[in-house]
Structures are given as C-alpha cells and as structure tokens.
C-alpha cells in the first residue's frame, strides 16, 4: 500500500463548478502538506501548502488538513477551463525535505 | 533567474546504452532533488544533495544509477545499461533549505524513452 493515496480520476466538471480533490496518507510524521498542479509535459507547480492541521485559503483555492483522520483536501471554486490539469498532493516530514506524492488526479473543466 | 533548467528535454535510447541528464538549479539554492515520474503516477524521490554532498538515496536508485553535484552547482544523473523499465520523466527540483517549501521549484523534466 502506498504512503499517500489519491483517486486518479479523471474528474470532469462544468465551468464554474467547485472541484473537490482529496488524499489520504499513512505516515503520521508528515507535517507539511502541499498541492501541486502539473500540466502535460511540464514540471509540478506549487499551488498551496499547509503546515499541520487547519485550513488555508488563497483566491479560488482552499486547502484543508485533518491530521487526526490523515486526510487532506483541495477545493477549487469557480473552476475555469485553464484549471484542467493533473493535481498532485505532496507531503513532507520537515520543510525543505523530500516530498512524498500521491498519484495525481486528472481534472477536466469543460466550457 | 530563469528557474530550474533540465537538459535534454527528451532522450530516446536503445536498451543497454548509457544516458546522462543535467540539471541546473536556481543559483542560490543549496538543495537539489531528483525525482522519477512514470505515466499516470506521481513523482517518486530518487536522491538529493545539499551543496555537493549526496545525503540520501532511495532504494529505487539501483546500482545502475549515479548522481553527482560537483562544486554544489549543476547536477548530473547517469543511468548505465538502460532497461525499458527506466522509461520515465526525470524531474529535478531545487530549494534553499532556509526558505522551506516556498522555494521548492521543479524543472520541466527530461523524458526518457528506452526502446
């Protein structure tokens, strides 16, 4: 079983809908939780990060971490076709340390 | 600052050949990471350097793989006697250890195809 599990999708939503993504993990030592966006044939790009449990909002993006359940979420409001990409959750035990990624969820926002 | 640069972008090689990839990190970043990503999967950690010292290697990094970071600047990843299972995207990332995750920047990767 992988340390970080993520539904591969694809997740197809109409433009303007809320996109809901999540990951579960097994390593209780993870302290930093991140979401990356990856377009085809590009490297991952950091979208959001959260330290320990809690919520964080940045524009259309909201990240949530529930360490007691080992569950993290990302919500994208007012989704746009340009949000179509693969979304990767990632975690690390300390800032600047190696990242452990989920398998990624492919999202398609239809105009 | 042009970000993390990786070369070549694509490499097609025959099974059994040796290949070498290069990563040029952001100049002030002291940590450099290599990850491997196969189709439909997330990146997997291979190894990392702090300055010129290679501090950790994943069990995924078989004896056919070697990485260097001379003088703590650019890094190379060499795969000897390539196998079809080595086909993947090889990603490099760099970070300044005193900036935490904010500074984690990935390159666009080198896509390796072994035929």
Q: Which of B29, B32, B42, B109 to mutate to test the interface with A (most CBs of A within 10 A)?
A: B42
The reported pLDDT for the residue numbered B103 is 61
Q: Do B40 and A102 touch (CB under 8 A)?
A: no
Nearest CB among B4, B101, B111 relative to A34 is that of B101
Nearest CB among A32, A96, A103 relative to B42 is that of A103
Q: Please, are residues A109 and A81 in contact by the beta-carbon 8 Å criterion?
A: yes
pLDDT tens digits for B36-68? 999 999 999 999 999 999 999 999 889 999 999
What is the rounded average pLDDT for all residues in chain A? 94
User: Sign of the CA dihedral A9, A10, A12, A16?
Assistant: positive
Q: Is pLDDT at B108 greater than 60 in this prediction?
A: yes
The reported pLDDT for the residue numbered B99 is 64
Q: Which of A2, A40, A99 to mutate to test the interface with B (most CBs of B within 10 A)?
A: A99
Separation in Å, CA of B82 to nearest CA in chain A? 22
Separation in Å, CA of A14 to nearest CA in chain B? 23
What is the rounded average pLDDT for all residues in chain B? 92
Band (pLDDT 50/70/90 cuts) for residue B71 is confident
- Of A54-63, A69-78, A89-98, give the lowest mean pLDDT range: A89-98
The reported pLDDT for the residue numbered B100 is 61
Q: Is pLDDT at B1 greater than 70 in this prediction?
A: no
Residue B57, burial from CB neighbour count under 10 angstroms (0-12, 13-18, 19+): middle
Size of interface A-B (CB pairs under 8 A): 62
Q: Do B41 and A98 touch (CB under 8 A)?
A: no
Q: Please, are residues B31 and B50 in contact by the beta-carbon 8 Å criterion?
A: yes
Q: What does the block give as tokens for A47?
A: 């979208």
User: Sign of the CA dihedral B51, B57, B58, B62?
Assistant: positive
Q: What is the mean pLDDT of residues A22-36?
A: 95
CA-based nearest residue to B114, from B18, B19, B15: B15
Q: Is pLDDT at A35 greater than 70 in this prediction?
A: yes
User: Sign of the CA dihedral B20, B9, B86, A46?
Assistant: positive
The reported pLDDT for the residue numbered A3 is 93
Q: Please, are residues A71 and A26 in contact by the beta-carbon 8 Å criterion?
A: no
Q: Is pLDDT at B102 greater than 80 in this prediction?
A: no
Residues of B contacting chain A (CB within 8 angstroms): 4, 31, 33, 35, 40-45, 48, 56, 91, 93, 95-97, 99-104, 106-109, 111
C-alpha A7/C-alpha A105 separation (Å) is 6
The reported pLDDT for the residue numbered A94 is 86
The reported pLDDT for the residue numbered B101 is 58
| More confident site: A54 or A100 | A100
**Partner B contacted by A4 (CB < 8 A):** yes
Separation in Å, CA of B96 to nearest CA in chain A? 8
């Amino acid at each position: 079983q992988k340390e970080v599990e993520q539904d591969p999708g694809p997740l197809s939503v109409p433009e303007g809908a809320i996109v809901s993504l999540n990951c579960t993990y097994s390593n209780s030592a993870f302290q930093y939780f991140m979401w990356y966006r990856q377009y085809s044939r590009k490297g991952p790009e950091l979208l959001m990060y959260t330290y320990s449990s809690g919520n964080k909002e940045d524009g259309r993006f909201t990240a949530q971490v529930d360490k007691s359940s080992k569950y993290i979420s990302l919500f994208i409001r007012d989704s746009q076709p340009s949000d179509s990409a693969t979304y990767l959750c990632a975690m690390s035990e300390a800032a600047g340390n190696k990242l452990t990624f989920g398998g990624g969820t492919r999202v398609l926002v239809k105009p | 600052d042009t970000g993390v640069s990786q070369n070549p972008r694509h490499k097609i090689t025959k099974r059994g050949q040796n290949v070498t990839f290069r990563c040029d990190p952001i100049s002030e970043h002291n940590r450099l990471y290599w990850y491997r990503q196969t189709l439909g999967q997330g990146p997997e950690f291979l190894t990392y350097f702090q300055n010129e010292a290679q501090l950790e290697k994943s069990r995924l990094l078989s004896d056919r793989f070697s990485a260097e970071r001379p003088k703590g600047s650019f890094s190379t990843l060499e795969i000897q006697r390539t196998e079809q299972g080595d086909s993947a995207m090889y990603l490099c990332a760099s970070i300044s250890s005193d900036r935490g995750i904010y500074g984690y920047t990935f390159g666009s990767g080198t896509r390796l195809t072994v035929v």
